[in-house]
Amino acid sequence: MVASVATLIAILVLALIVVSQAVRILREYERGVVFTLGRYTGTKGPGLFLLVPVVQQMVRVDLRVIVDEVPPQDVISHDNVSVKVNAVIYYRVVDPERAVIQVTNFTAATSQLAQTTLRWVLGKHDLDQMLAERDKLNADIQDVLDKQTEGWGIKVSNVEIKRIDLDESMIRAIARQAEAERARRAKIINAEGEQQAAAKLVEAARILAPTPQAMQLRYLATLFDIAGERSSTIVFPFPIDLMQAWTNRAAPTG
């Protein structure tokens, strides 16, 4: 009697072990790549399904977006400037079969590929392009990564360059360059203002020249403006025609 009870308990325990090995439950974002005697026989999930113990094995794959931070990479730009760049990539598994069969560890492989691609793409651009065209560089890196990981069943959805670090000497050089550029623009703006003011003065002179009375009124207006500034200098308008007559009289006759 005791032996039969022990046998029954052993059978129940063995049955529970077999059932626990056979029953699989996968969440909505999970898939199971099933191998039967070492050969791929399908992808299961989500939900409840059964496996044949010992004969079948399953590799669980997460389909959610994976966020991987690329560590800082030493990059030499096209104009021979050394910088450190780090980025973040967003990718997910779209084909669980290829992600398991075609590559040993798709997360490590994608991370290493992202590092080399980051250095390769940025190395083709100048420093100014790295700083000013970050969106374009993100798109270029994402496009290259996506094409290379397609055979692994991986979809790279986005790449974001986080930081571009420069050494102190380069930062000072960029600051001097920006200051020189601002000075150049200020000089250009000042020269353009002088040019426009000269053009307006010439236009005003052409308008006032035919009418001497208008010129006298302009003299009086200028005198009024100077008097309003509390200046100690008194300016009297001197008619141009009187000056010309005086000049002609003082000139020696041949």
* pTM for this predicted structure: 0.65
Going 133 to 138 to 139 to 145, the CA torsion angle's sign is: positive
Residue 58 pLDDT grade (very low, low, confident, very high; cuts 50, 70, 90):
very high
Share of the chain above pLDDT 90, in %: 37
Q: How far apart are CA 118 and CA 89, in angstroms?
A: 11
> What's the pLDDT at 4?
75
pLDDT tens digits, one per residue of 190-205: 888 888 888 877 777 7
Query: In the chain, which residue ranges form alpha helices assigned H by DSSP?
Result: 2-22, 96-101, 106-122, 127-132, 134-149, 168-208, 212-228, 240-250
pLDDT at 249 over 80: no
Q: Mean pLDDT across the stretch 85-96?
A: 94
Q: How far apart are CA 82 and CA 79, in angstroms?
A: 9
Q: Buried b vs exposed e over 78-100: b needs ≥16 C-beta within 10 Å?
A: eeebebebbbebebbbebbbbbb
166: left (phi over 0), alpha (psi -120 to 50) or beta: beta
- What residue ranges do the domains of the chain occupy? 2-59, 66-166, 167-210, 213-254
Query: 66-166 adopts what CATH topology?
Result: Tetrahydropterin Synthase; Chain A (3.30.479)
Q: Which two tokens stand for residue 6?
A: 């022990």
Q: For the ranges 40-54, 56-70, 227-241, which has the lowest average pLDDT?
A: 227-241
Chain centroid, CA 86 distance in Å: 12
CA distances from 102 to 38, 156, 210 (A): 15, 17, 91
More confident site: 44 or 244: 44
Amino acid sitting at position 54: V
